[in-house]
Structure 1
Amino acid sequence: MTMENGYSVFETAAGFAAIGWNASGIRSFRLPPGTAREAERSLLRRLPDAKAVPPPPQVQAVIDDARRYFAGERVDFAGVAVDLGRQEPFFDRVYAHVRQLGWGETATYGAIARALDAGPEFARDVGQAMAANPVPLIIPCHRVTAANGRIGGFSAPGGSLSKAHMLALEGVEVQDGIVTRDMPQLGLGF
Structure 2
Amino acid sequence: MAAGEGYAFFSTPIGECGIAWRGDAIVGVQLPGATQAQGRARMAGRFAHLHEATPPAWVADAMRRIAALLEGEADDLRDLPLDMSAVPEFNRRVYEISRGIAPGRTLTYGDIALQLGDKGLARAVGQALGHNPFAPVVPCHRILGAGNSGTGFSAAGGVATKLKMLEIERAQLGGEPGLFD
Q: Distance in 1 between matches of 2:3 and 2:115?
A: 37
Instruction: Count matched residues.
Output: 175
Give the gaps of 5 or more residues in structure 2. Answer: 177-181
Deviation at 1:34, TM superposition (A): 5.1
1:1-190 aligned within 5 A: 3-33=3-33, 35-117=35-117, 119-172=118-171, 182-184=173-175
Give the gaps of 5 or more residues in structure 1. Answer: 173-180, 186-190
SS in 1 for 2:19: strand
The worse-fitting range, judged by mean Cα deviation, of 77-86 and 31-40 is: 31-40
Residues 144 and 54 (structure 1), Cα distance of their counterparts in 2 relative to 1, 3 Å cut: same
Q: Distance in 2 between matches of 1:86 and 1:52?
A: 21
SS in 2 for 1:7: strand
Deviation at 1:5, TM superposition (A): 3.4
Q: Distance in 2 between matches of 1:184 and 1:87?
A: 33
More strand by share: 1
TM-score, L = length of structure 2:
0.89
Deviation at 1:144, TM superposition (A): 0.6
Residues 52 and 3 (structure 1), Cα distance of their counterparts in 2 relative to 1, 3 Å cut: same
Letter in 1 for 2:75: V
Deviation at 1:38, TM superposition (A): 2.3
Letter in 2 for 1:46: R
Q: Distance in 2 between matches of 1:142 and 1:156?
A: 10
SS in 2 for 1:52: coil
Deviations 1:57-86 (A, max 9, x none): 110011111221222222221100011232
Residues 167 and 129 (structure 1), Cα distance of their counterparts in 2 relative to 1, 3 Å cut: same
Moved over 6 A (4+): none
SS in 1 for 2:31: strand
TM-score, L = length of structure 1:
0.85
The two structures, once aligned, show a CA RMSD in angstroms of 1.8
Mapped contact 2:19–2:26 kept (Cα < 8 A): yes
Calculate percent identity across the aligned residue pairs. Answer: 31
Mapped contact 1:15–1:34 kept (Cα < 8 A): no
Mapped contact 2:28–2:134 kept (Cα < 8 A): yes
